[in-house]
Amino acid sequence: CVRVLTGIKPSGTPHLGNYVGAIRPTVRASRQAGVDSYLFLADYHALISTHDPARVQRSTLEIAATWIACGLDPQRVTFYRQSDIPEIPELTWLLACVCGKGLLNRAHAYKAAVDKNLADGRDADDGITMGLFMYPVLMAADILMFNAHRVPVGRDQIQHIEMARDLAASFNHLYGEHFTLPEAVIDEQVATLPGLDGRKMSKSYDNVIPLFAPREQLRRLIMGIVTDSRAPGEPKETEGSALFQIYQAFATADETAALARDFAAGIAWAEAKERLFERIDREIAPMRATYDELMAHPERVEAYLRAGAAKARAQASPFMARLRHAVGLRPLD
Ligand code: TYM
């Protein structure tokens, strides 16, 4: 049985990048025979970037409803909220104690924050919390707690999974074979979905298309995707076109090839955008209805999460007992 695990940070409204990079591939994988899936809301991770309790709660509900609306079957998979599993921060500490500080100094997100400080003439660590610095260790605990083999993610998360492997190997070396070494699974087609401005779609760039934006808002947003200034009738480049890349993430190979031909033949941008809108809406519309229904009944979502937490803890708790024993700590009563 292959164990597949992935999480999403509830720090904002889920967007098309989260959907194609993580949600869609994971939901598809979770329906295959011989796959045991763990899907969770990384709310401890959300606290690193958000100090707004209402936002964390709202986003947790939105992302949980999104997973279910996108076809996850909570009976079949283990679907939980990270903060419902106290064994995860406990494991984070054990891993922190085998984690070289240098490893974390090299983490992309931390380095980017330091570089930005230096570029702005501030002290290197100004405003950087231990939460941000420890981010990869908490994420390693998420993955190693359930001994996941595969972790489907967008390209931005690869380094974190490599770090989880490093920490698993260090721990195993010191205490015996307790952890499986996880592997990132990246769908190359959609590894980085561009946003409205052509950069990676990301909450922090404010360029996202919310997954369940109402139909008219979705159309408006899509009409706002950056394009060059080529007029109708002029051939368009597919290379480097955000519009084309987003289309490719939703369409079949044949549909994509047809759009490439129309680009060469000089399709008007407005028409290409209309085609993209229709293609996305065709896939999303049925899920949007389920999502709206779930958002109107938060207690249903909560019931799934509680049941999922019980299922997850039934594994995490005995595994943590084994790890406590391995490092020389007393078993909990
Ligand atoms: P987060 O919440 O930033 O993003 C969730 C998932 O969406 C993917 N993603 C994208 N994929 C393609 N194109 C994009 N533009 C795009 N934007 C986001 C991300 O790669 C990610 O897979 N650290 C994680 C959450 C996490 C986690 C874990 C993941 C915590 N613990 C353990 C896997 C395993 C994060 O911040 O994802």
Residues 61 and 96 in one domain: yes
Answer yes or no: is 200 within a domain: no
Cα–ligand 1 centroid distance for 157 (angstroms): 6
Under the banding of pLDDT at 50, 70 and 90, the label for residue 315 is: very high
70 has pLDDT over 90: yes
Tell me if 40 sits within 8 A of 74, measured CB to CB.
no
Percentage of the chain lying above the pLDDT 70 cut:
99
Question: What pLDDT does 91 receive?
Answer: 98
201 annotated as a binding-site residue: yes
Which structure tokens are listed for 237?
Answer: 């480049």
Tell me if 138 sits within 8 A of 92, measured CB to CB.
yes
Question: What pLDDT does 66 receive?
Answer: 97
Residues 62 and 124 in one domain: yes
Most confident of 19-33, 145-159, 164-178: 164-178
3 state DSSP class of 75 = coil
Residues 90 and 218 in one domain: no
Answer yes or no: is 235 within a domain: yes
Burial class (CB in 10 A: 0-12, 13-18, 19+), 261: exposed
Q: What is the largest CA-CA distance in the chain?
A: 75
Ligand 1 contact, 156 CB (< 6 A): yes
- Quote the ipTM score: 0.97
Question: What pLDDT does 198 receive?
Answer: 96
Question: What pLDDT does 232 receive?
Answer: 94
Cα–ligand 1 centroid distance for 145 (angstroms): 18
Q: What is the CATH number of the domain that holds 256?
A: 1.10.240.10
- Average pLDDT over the chain reads 96
Tell me if 16 sits within 8 A of 201, measured CB to CB.
yes
Ligand 1 contact, 186 CB (< 6 A): no
Please identify, by atom number, the ligand 1 atom nearest to the C-alpha of residue 45: 30
Q: What is the CATH number of the domain that holds 18?
A: 3.40.50.620
Question: Which of 203, 155, 156, 169 shows the shortest CA–CA distance to 46?
Answer: 203
Residues 138 and 271 in one domain: no
Q: How many domains does the chain have?
A: 2
Per residue in 110-138, pLDDT (tens digit) is 999 999 999 999 999 999 999 999 999 99
Question: What pLDDT does 203 receive?
Answer: 86
Answer yes or no: is 207 within a domain: no
Answer yes or no: is 246 within a domain: yes
What domain range is 261 assigned to? 212-292
Residues 266 and 161 in one domain: no
Ligand 1 contact, 153 CB (< 6 A): yes
* Cα–Cα distance for residue pair 210/17, rounded to 1 Å: 9
* Cα–Cα distance for residue pair 21/190, rounded to 1 Å: 6
Q: Which residue has the tokens 């999104």?
A: 66
Ligand 1 contact, 154 CB (< 6 A): yes
Residues 279 and 311 in one domain: no
Question: What pLDDT does 36 receive?
Answer: 96
Residues 78 and 133 in one domain: yes
Please identify, by atom number, the ligand 1 atom nearest to the C-alpha of residue 42: 30
Ligand 1 contact, 59 CB (< 6 A): no
Give the contacts of 306 (CB within 8 A, at least 6 positions apart).
Answer: 84
Residues 277 and 309 in one domain: no
22 has pLDDT over 90: no
Burial class (CB in 10 A: 0-12, 13-18, 19+), 313: middle
Tell me if 262 sits within 8 A of 272, measured CB to CB.
yes
156 annotated as a binding-site residue: yes
Residues 49 and 119 in one domain: yes
Residues 67 and 7 in one domain: yes
Question: What pLDDT does 190 receive?
Answer: 67
* Cα–Cα distance for residue pair 192/248, rounded to 1 Å: 12
Residues 122 and 268 in one domain: no
202 annotated as a binding-site residue: yes
Residues 72 and 137 in one domain: yes
Answer yes or no: is 111 within a domain: yes
Question: How does 181-210 read in b/e, with b if 16+ C-beta sit within 10 Å?
Answer: bbebbbbeebbbbbbbebebbbbeeebbbb
Answer yes or no: is 332 within a domain: no
Under the banding of pLDDT at 50, 70 and 90, the label for residue 154 is: confident
Answer yes or no: is 72 within a domain: yes
Q: What is the sign of the dihedral through the CA atoms of 236, 284, 27 and 131?
A: positive
Give the contacts of 122 (CB within 8 A, at least 6 positions apart).
Answer: none
Answer yes or no: is 112 within a domain: yes
Phi/psi for 227 (5° steps) reads -140, 170
